[in-house]
A and B are shown apart, each in its own frame.
Chain A
């Protein structure tokens, strides 16, 4: 599979973009600019959180995921449903119909990511007891939050818990179990995550903390929702058994992870801008009495992902109800200790800071640029109107210093300049011949 450091699931559909400034204002890493009447996403800054997808009323921001037909690229295919998928269906009496519906779409087998979540819960729980780690430890489950830290809080990287995502753990086990059962070769099995968000797609193509993802592709929930629907109410004589626990299913909702790994002293925050504010506090050491921090880019947790069909509040409630139908087996007591060493559950690659916010590699040059930037900023109106195509006057000044635009791209500056020119022209016109 193509491994690309700058791969992004979030893209722009130029034909739909009006060049308005709605997305500019909501991007948590100031990664969007409007130039020449259309938006541009700055690849190095984008964290694939999907905030722009939600905000764009013209649907010009899209998430690229794999087509369902991608599963035919492999002799065998396994579906890995994120627990948030279960929240898309109202009044489920059991998870089994969802698993059978996935099989009906052409998957040979299904492995629940909620099971991966249980294993990850135990691994993190053990990690929290290790001495010498910075507090609070920060969850690595939401790839958009991890990337947010790389871009905006590089000093918090040591706080990120080095345990792989439930999707990754589920993929490793699913492939191994399937191959053992059928005797087929691992490379003949395609493992596909059923995803609520673009960030997971990006995490597969361009993994964080590991060299290669165990997942082969991601299929959007939105894309297959309609196809799953007709199968949900079907009653089978031998339904696929579910192995999800209360705790595993709850990972779909914000605070599900925290309550599985450290209910006594953790904090869960959802919504990327809320996460940003709390990361500022962690950075200021205001929360170092906390043991664990779970941040989810989407409101409500993964149920709020931009690729969910159902309203996030309704889905959250559905998950809550469904979780009570599952066994209350706590991962710390029920995931066997042998699991902690049986599979590679930990990162094999360090998380690197993303220095895209830096003005220059050289500190002195960066200082000169910042000085220039501040001087430019003082001459700007401070309306943060976005007409120039940068999200704020401050970022506009930064863009000028970086050489990406000029002061006359500010419509207010331009008007002032035109006024001066017009006055001069009047003066010139009134000048009589000597």
Chain B
């Protein structure tokens, strides 16, 4: 993968104050690069979902953005807790969000399905006790 643009955003568990800032910065960069509106929009939705997933569900992690001729790449890695049943987690409406997250309007169980729907390539790997890695790729046109 030859990427010219690389950016990393550390995301802390439960940090609702800064939630959304990484995806706002990602959108700003893509607009400056002139990535087409329709691609931009799909990245916007997926990056927000994946960032919020890190805040709500993970013990902390980071989001990485890479842009190159092969497309826009978003990679989220966290340090746990890991997803026991990925197939279940991928189901629309299934959520393990806490009461706190739900009280803030999250936890509709659409995060992962939305990412998958918006990305051109979607990959998720997880190990309980270790962490989760989500990789998404978006075609440039």
Q: Which residues on A sit within 8 Å (CB–CB) of B113? A: none
Does B38 sit within 8 A of A, measured CB to CB? yes
Contact call B44/A357, Cβ cutoff below 8 A: no
Count of chain A residues near B, Cβ 8 A: 25
Interface on chain A toward B: helix, strand, loop, or mixed SS?
helix
Asked whether B103 is an interface residue with its Cβ less than 8 Å from the other chain, the reply is no
Stretch from B9-17, B19-27, B55-63, B94-102 contacting the other chain: B19-27
Whether the pair A284, B45 counts as a contact (CB closer than 8 A) is: yes
Stretch at the interface among B29-37, B81-89, B120-128, B130-138: B29-37
Q: Which residues of A contact B40 (CB under 8 A)?
A: 154-155
**C-alpha spacing A283/B48, complex, angstroms:** 10
Distance of A152 Cα from B27 Cα, bound (Å): 10
Of all chain A residues, the one with the shortest Cβ separation from B114 is A285
Within residues 138 to 160 of chain A, which ones have a CB less than 8 A from any CB in chain B?
A: 152, 154-155, 157
B interface footprint on A354-367 (CB within 8 Å = 1, 0 otherwise): 01011111011011
Evaluate contact between B23 and A367: CB separation under 8 angstroms. Answer: no
For B44, what are the chain A residues with a Cβ–Cβ distance below 8 Å? 155, 283-285
Q: How far is the CA of A286 from the CA of B38 in the complex (A)?
A: 17
In the complex, are the beta carbons of B23 and A359 less than 8 A apart? no
Residues of B contacting A366 with CB < 8 Å? 32-34
* List of B residues within 8 angstroms of A357 by Cβ: 31-32
Taking the closest CB of chain A, its distance from the CB of B42, in whole angstroms, is 9
Q: How many B residues touch A, CB cutoff 8 Å?
A: 25
Chain B residue contacts of A286, Cβ below 8 A? 48
Q: Does A348 count as interface, using CB distance less than 8 angstroms?
A: no
Cβ distance A160 to chain B, nearest Cβ, rounded Å = 13
Check if B34 sits within 8 Å of A361, measured CB to CB.
Answer: yes
Q: Could you tell me the distance between the alpha carbons of A305 and B29 in the complex, rounded to whole angstroms? A: 32
Residues of A with C-beta under 8 A to B41: 155, 283
Residues of B near A363 (CB, < 8 A) are 33-35, 69, 140
Q: How far is the CA of A363 from the CA of B30 in the complex (A)?
A: 10
Sample of 12 more A-B contacts, CB < 8 Å, known A358-B33, A364-B69, A371-B5: A155-B37, A280-B27, A284-B20, A284-B48, A285-B44, A285-B45, A286-B48, A353-B37, A355-B34, A363-B34, A367-B67, A367-B68
24 A-B pairs, CB-CB below 8 angstroms? A155-B40, A155-B41, A280-B27, A283-B44, A284-B20, A284-B23, A284-B44, A284-B48, A285-B44, A285-B45, A353-B37, A358-B33, A358-B34, A360-B34, A363-B35, A364-B4, A366-B33, A366-B34, A367-B4, A367-B5, A367-B67, A367-B68, A371-B4, A398-B32
